[in-house]
Amino acid sequence: MADTDALNIPKSSLPRIVIVGGGFGGIALGQALKGKEMQVVLLDKNNYHTFQPLLYQVSTGGLEPDSIAYPLRKVLQGYPDFYFRLAEVLRVKPASKLVCTDIGELAYDYLVIGTGSETNFFGNDEIEQNSMGMKTIPQSLDLRSLILENFEQALLTDNLHERDALMNFVIVGGGPTGVELAGALAEIKKGILPKDYPDLDTRKAQINLVQSGEQVLQGMSREASKKAEEFLEGLGVQVWKGARVTAYDGKTVRTKTDLVFEAATVVWAAGVKAVSIEGLDAKDLLASSNRIKVNEFNQVMDHDGIYAIGDAAYMQSDKAPHGHPMVAQPALQQGKHLGENLVRLNKGQPMKPFRYKDKGSMATVGRNKAVVDLEHYKFQGVFAWFVWMFVHLFFLIGFRNRMVVFVNWVYNYVRFDREARLIIRPYKRDYKRFRRKKVSSDETRSSPVSGRCGPHENKFRSL
């Protein structure tokens, strides 16, 4: 191993596994490696794990962000020879077996990429600049602020056209995220806005769910899709199908089918792509949605010692000709399986191929309304909603989080309320940040795959 411990990781005679990303996959992998005669280093740009399936509840004031985040250091507490570093991985140098981070470089024997995914705007810069994503906790808080600020502003304006636009929501994408968010906004419109804003005609608020395909929840059964649409319409959501959104300039949404919406809030839930890492982003290594091609052992094609899991990995098989779905189960299962395989590899035993067990899918539209597809059984309505709640509580990390979420849900259910409707950090669109991001992604990536990482600046405050 190279003589590098810029991150202050003790040298060890054990093989070092560096995991990039403490998401569902990274954590499952870390847990599978506990006490297995290997040094494990987990790197993440955040010091917490995010339970993304409940982000929409943060955006709509149903939950506080703390209840769906969990400190990564706590997940690994007490694990022998385990290290966490708060670091963003900038690039990988496979030939030198180094990862370059914003706090320095680190050598690895095995590297696992579990960096998840980000919103995919399909190259439409105008939509990216003006609409809201919902992939992280800060983005969810931004959306929460924007929704509430728009109502405050609607109260002040005399211009009826502007008032309507401030109360008009367009959610692009009829997958689970779009459906769940639309349902939650519709419930707020019905149960909370009239009480919070008695001097505003909140009946005029509109929730539009715009979908390019011919059905919502396309990955689920026809029954689930039909029922979800029925639930949404019952709640007053306007569902637009076969309408691909092509433009949004901050005021007007346009679709390919010539629909036009004047809206101050547009949420883009129409697609995701894997977070790509320089050094592993060669064209022939990436499949659709930027996912890294891996074999059935999660090993990155033609890269010895490098693996990818979860949303970041594209594993093709007869059963999954387009790779596994970008949802939590494949990430959890691949993380655990790869951990077991790395232990086998360390003992000189052959690795076992990964086989995905599809445990079904589900989505909720609102109170007492959910749809569940299991392999042999599909159901919708109140029971599905209880199943949805139980499954989400089960997969949340941390006893406290489970309790807090449970208590919040009971409270919200009994009181028809969502008390976290707070503008803690007013939302400001940061166009400068967007331009900086654009410039850096437009720069040619010519960093060699071998050699050292080069200098880095200390991102923390020095004494």
Binding residues vs ligand FAD (CB under 6 A) = 20-26, 43-46, 52-53, 55-56, 88-89, 114-116, 134-135, 176-177, 275, 310-312, 326-329, 331
Q: Which of 311, 272, 65 is nearest to 178 (CA)?
A: 272
Closest CB 280 distance from ligand FAD, rounded Å: 11
Residue placing its CB nearer to ligand FAD in the complex, 327 or 389: 327
Rounded distance between C-alpha atoms, residue 342 and residue 134, angstroms: 34
Q: Select 99 or 210, whichever has its Cβ closest to ligand FAD.
A: 99
- Quote the least distance from Cβ 51 to ligand FAD, whole Å: 8
Shortest spacing between CB 67 and ligand FAD, in angstroms:
15
User: Residue 274: exposed, middle, or buried by beta-carbon count in 10 A (0-12, 13-18, 19+)?
Assistant: buried
- DSSP letter (8 states) at residue 447: -
Q: Give the Å distances, CA to CA, from 367 to 180, 239, 283.
A: 11, 19, 45
Our CB check for ligand FAD shows the closer of 165 and 245 to be 245
State both tokens at 91. Answer: 């690039």
**Least spacing, CB of residue 42 vs ligand FAD, in Å:** 9
Q: Which is nearer to ligand FAD, 164 or 311 (CB)?
A: 311
Which residue carries 């309408």 as its tokens?
243
Q: In this structure, are residues 224 and 371 in contact, taking their beta carbons and an 8 Å threshold?
A: yes
Minimal distance in Å, beta carbon 350 to ligand FAD? Answer: 26
CB 243 to ligand FAD: min, Å: 21
| CA–CA distance, 384 with 390 (Å, rounded to integer) | 10
User: What whole-number distance in Å separates Cα of residue 133 and Cα of residue 339?
Assistant: 32
What is the smallest separation between the CB atom of 445 and ligand FAD, expressed in angstroms?
14
Considering the complex, state which of residue 21 and residue 62 has its C-beta at the smaller distance from ligand FAD. Answer: 21
Residue found by looking up tokens 């399986």 in the block = 337
What's the rounded Cα separation, in Å, for the pair 243 and 81? 53
Min separation Cβ 333 and ligand FAD, Å: 11
Q: In terms of CB distance, is 328 or 453 closer to ligand FAD?
A: 328
Beta pairing class for 378-380 and 117-119:
unpaired
By C-beta, is 117 or 206 nearer to ligand FAD? 117
| Nearer of residues 166 and 397 to ligand FAD, judged by Cβ | 397
Q: Looking at beta carbons, which residue is closest to ligand FAD?
A: 23
Closer of 156 and 374 to ligand FAD (Cβ): 374
Task: Give the Cβ contact number of residue 200 at 10 Å.
Answer: 19
User: Could you tell me the smallest distance in angstroms from the CB atom of residue 58 to ligand FAD?
Assistant: 10
Contacts for 157 with CB less than 8 Å, ≥ 6 apart? 163, 166
CA–CA distance from 457 to each of 83, 104, 287, 462 (Å)?
22, 9, 33, 11
Residue 100 beta carbon to ligand FAD: minimum distance, rounded to whole angstroms: 10
- Written as six digits, the tokens of 231 are 């639930």
**How far, in whole angstroms, is CA 15 from its chain's centroid?**
31
Cα within 13 Å of Cα(260), Cβ side: 5
Helix axes 399-415, 382-395, angle to 10 degrees: 150
For residue 260, the cross-strand partners are: 254
Q: Which is nearer to ligand FAD, 394 or 463 (CB)?
A: 394
Neighbouring CB atoms inside 10 A of 156's CB total 10
